[in-house]
Amino acid sequence: MKKFVSPYGATPRRNFVLFLLGLFACTVLYRIVYLQTSKADDIIMRANDLFTRTVTEPASRGTIVDRNDIPLAVSTQVNSLWVNPHQFEQMPTEMHKLASVLGQSEKKLRKRLRANKYNSKGERINFVYVKRGLAPAKAKQITDSIPGVFSQSEYRRYYPAGDITAQIVGYNDPDQKGLAGIELLYNDWLSGTAGSSKIVRSVHGQVFEILEEIKPPVQGGNLKLTIDQRFQYLTYMALLEMAEKFSPKSATAVMLDAKTAEVLAMVSIPSGNPNNPKERRTSLLKNRAITDAFEPGSVMKAFAVAAALDAGLVSPYTPINTHPGYMKAHKNLVKDVHNYGRLNVSTVIKKSSNVGTCKIALRMPKIKLQNMYESLGLGQKSQIGFPGESAGIMHKITRMNDFDYCTNAYGYGISVTALQLAQAFAVIANDGVKIPATLEKREDALQPEGVRVMSARTARQVRKMLKSAVSEGGTGTQATTGDYMSDYTVGGKTGTVHKAIKGGYAKKKYRAIFAGMAPLSDPRIVMVVMVDEPKGKKYYGGEVAAPVFAKVVGKALRILGVAPDRKDMRKKNRIIETGFN
């Protein structure tokens, strides 16, 4: 038989090639077996590193509610969109679609992604937000239609009452950190603790499977405030109504519970809506009741008289001669608007006599008035700890000459906040006992013990004088003319001050102030109103600020279920209940 000869060459060469191929196949097979046995765990771990990620699960921030559990700040779940800037920059069609959907300039979006490809250390960044706070359905619609765009679940803060409670509650940044107000003050308590989960996702970011929850997220603590949203609304609307009439630069009002010193309402105008980022400006969201100090004027006369009464130096009926309507103190004149002639201590308050107040103050050592102011909390920050709170200004009274001492007694040369003033009047309302003001609702068992500032007898005597100041012939009669105000006895004091300017006081710029309480027989509410630079011919506290008090307090007392205390109203109620006259 003829021997076969391969057409591809000599048999030894073919055999050598076959040997090499066989050797290669054996090597590959050996490597496969080796990796599948000895290195299997390492390979699986590397694969997991490529496709398994530990992701953060956001935690919901605690809810802020008013004293009746009405929500003032809540967290709602939203989705934020993100892209890998290195990948997405190479996707021009998707870039154009995304810019169009988000209503952004494609040029600006591209520039933003390029600027965020690396951090300050030159390290690669694979995660850049392109839009935050979208509704989950909207975010899903975008991620489903545009490759390379992914979403991440998080929370956004929402403020149901908007600008009505904005200056108290404050607001957060997009990462849910408090930036102002209660949100900032109680940030640690309200903040939750983020959780974490292990997931499997593609290199493009699509989540395939949640492997395990490593640590569940923990919601932040809830917080109940002393604010009553109903009173907050009434006060806000009353200030707006006043502003339409007098066009002030700003105005603020504070309402306290006379028994507990809880802040029931605290409003300033102008105000802004924290749900709108464009309105998150200091000029709109500043809590002026706590941050702004002002000279209070004649409302301070009540405390000068209280100090003299408590020291036993005068009685309500001690005669005070204010004739001829002015007097010399040190090197200056103290003047009244009119020559009131012969008054007594009570009518000094009713007529708001500067001369009378000066003569009362000069009867007592200066340290007495200084101690009274300090005990009331004037010139000191409250225990609330609100961000940006002002302590006001109180100079050393014992070092003053007689003129400065007198002007201090009727509210010049001293600066207070509306909250300080309300807390001071709450002492008179609470029979001389001071309880620290609070914005956080306290349990009954945690109510602090009060500190006596003046005797109960002194406080009641001053309350009677405050009643005369809003009665016929007094300066604050308009404090009694609001809805339901005819049901209750009222006491209060007006103040009208020239605004301080460089080198003295402005002739035609004023602050109008009213501080009052009701019902006077057993006060439940204390309210202070301050209006900065009212425009027009009317600028007195009794004309501008007192009507705000009247529009709010009567309604608030009715809502609280406080029974009328005026004798004629009690009689009328008995007639209605029995059907007999």
Cite the active site residues.
298
Alpha-carbon distance of 505 to 211, in angstroms, equals 72
Alpha-carbon distance of 43 to 66, in angstroms, equals 57
Q: Give yes or no for a contact between 533 and 550, defined as CB atoms under 8 angstroms apart.
A: no
Token couple for 475 = 């300066």
Q: Give yes or no for a contact between 306 and 299, defined as CB atoms under 8 angstroms apart.
A: no
115 CB neighbour count, 10 Å cutoff: 10
Token couple for 169 = 């509650």
Label the pairing between strands 150-158 and 171-172.
unpaired
| Bridge partners for 221 per DSSP | none
Q: Is 169 exposed, middle or buried (0-12, 13-18, 19+ CB in 10 A)?
A: buried
Q: Give yes or no for a contact between 131 and 81, defined as CB atoms under 8 angstroms apart.
A: yes
At residue 253, the 3 state secondary structure works out as strand
List of residues 6+ apart from 230 with CB closer than 8 A: 68, 556, 559
Alpha-carbon distance of 514 to 527, in angstroms, equals 8
Token couple for 236 = 């806000």
Q: Which of 372, 375, 337, 373 is nearest to 356 (CA)?
A: 337
In 247-281, which residue ranges form alpha helices assigned H by DSSP?
none
| Bridge partners for 73 per DSSP | 64
Report in angstroms the alpha-carbon separations of 172 from 162, 184, 191, 217, 519: 14, 8, 11, 19, 39
Q: Which of 54, 79, 179, 199 is nearest to 129 (CA)?
A: 79
